[in-house]
Amino acid sequence: MIGKNLFHLTIIILFFNVNIYGQEAEVDPYGEVADIQAAKFKTPGSDCMEYLAEKGREQYKQMKVGATTVLFICGESEIKEPPSSRKFLISRMNGFDKAVLNGLENYSKFRSQIISEQVSYALNAGKDPNLVKSALEEREEVLNEEEKGIFDKLKDLANTKLDKKLKEEGIDPEADKEEALEAIAEIVESSSFNNVVEASSRVAISGIQTAKVWEVCKMGKPCRVAVLLARTPEQAGIANAMLAQSTGSLKGPPGKPLKTKWKVRDVLANVGTRIQRDENGDYHLITVSMHVPNKGGSLDTAYKFATNRGNGLMRRFAGTVISSSTKSAIQEVTNIDNLGNSENELNSYLDSLVESNAERAKIPGIAVIAQGPVIHPVNPEVNAVYTVLKWSFNSQKEALKPLEAAQPNSNNDANSPTTDASSNTSLESEEADF
Three-state DSSP string of 233-274: HHHHHHHHHHHHCCCCCCECCCCCCCCCCCCHHHHHHCCCEE
- Average of per-residue pLDDT across 134-153: 70
More reliable by pLDDT, 18 or 355:
355
* Spatial distance between the Cα atoms of 83 and 378, rounded to a whole number of angstroms: 6
pLDDT computed for residue 19 by the predictor: 45
More reliable by pLDDT, 85 or 412:
85
Q: How many CB atoms lie within 10 A of CB 181?
A: 16
Q: What is the pTM of this model?
A: 0.72
- Average of per-residue pLDDT across 374-393: 92
Q: Residue 340 region, left (φ>0) first, then alpha (ψ -120 to 50), else beta? A: left
Most confident range (mean pLDDT) of 24-28, 43-47, 243-247, 322-326 is 43-47
Mean per-residue pLDDT of the chain? 77
* Spatial distance between the Cα atoms of 78 and 101, rounded to a whole number of angstroms: 12
- Average of per-residue pLDDT across 14-28: 50
DSSP 100: H
pLDDT computed for residue 329 by the predictor: 54
pLDDT computed for residue 45 by the predictor: 93
pLDDT computed for residue 46 by the predictor: 94
- Average of per-residue pLDDT across 213-222: 89
Query: Residue 303 pLDDT more than 50?
Result: yes
* Spatial distance between the Cα atoms of 274 and 207, rounded to a whole number of angstroms: 10
Most confident range (mean pLDDT) of 373-377, 405-409, 417-421, 429-433 is 373-377
pLDDT computed for residue 92 by the predictor: 92
- 326 pLDDT band, cuts 50/70/90, is very low
More reliable by pLDDT, 395 or 30:
395
Which of 18-22, 177-181, 198-202 shows the lowest per-residue confidence on average (mean pLDDT)?
18-22
Q: Residue 285 region, left (φ>0) first, then alpha (ψ -120 to 50), else beta? A: beta
The DSSP bridge partners found for residue 214 are 226, 428
- Average of per-residue pLDDT across 392-420: 63
More reliable by pLDDT, 5 or 54:
54
Query: Residue 330 pLDDT more than 60?
Result: no
- Average of per-residue pLDDT across 230-244: 80
Which of 56-65, 186-195, 334-343 shows the lowest per-residue confidence on average (mean pLDDT)?
334-343
- Average of per-residue pLDDT across 233-246: 78
- 413 pLDDT band, cuts 50/70/90, is very low
Angle value at C-alpha 429, between 426 and 284, nearest 5 degrees: 155
**What's the sign of the alpha-carbon dihedral 221, 313, 228, 142?**
negative
- 418 pLDDT band, cuts 50/70/90, is very low
pLDDT computed for residue 121 by the predictor: 75
Find how far residue 334's CA is from the centre of its chain: 26
Percent of the chain with pLDDT strictly greater than 90 = 24
Which of 140-144, 227-231, 327-331 shows the lowest per-residue confidence on average (mean pLDDT)?
327-331
- Average of per-residue pLDDT across 126-147: 68
Is 370:408 a contact under the CB 8 Å cutoff? no
pLDDT computed for residue 312 by the predictor: 81
- Average of per-residue pLDDT across 306-329: 69
Query: Residue 184 pLDDT more than 60?
Result: yes
Spatial CA neighbour of 70 closest among 234, 212, 202, 213: 234
Most confident range (mean pLDDT) of 39-48, 156-165, 314-323 is 39-48
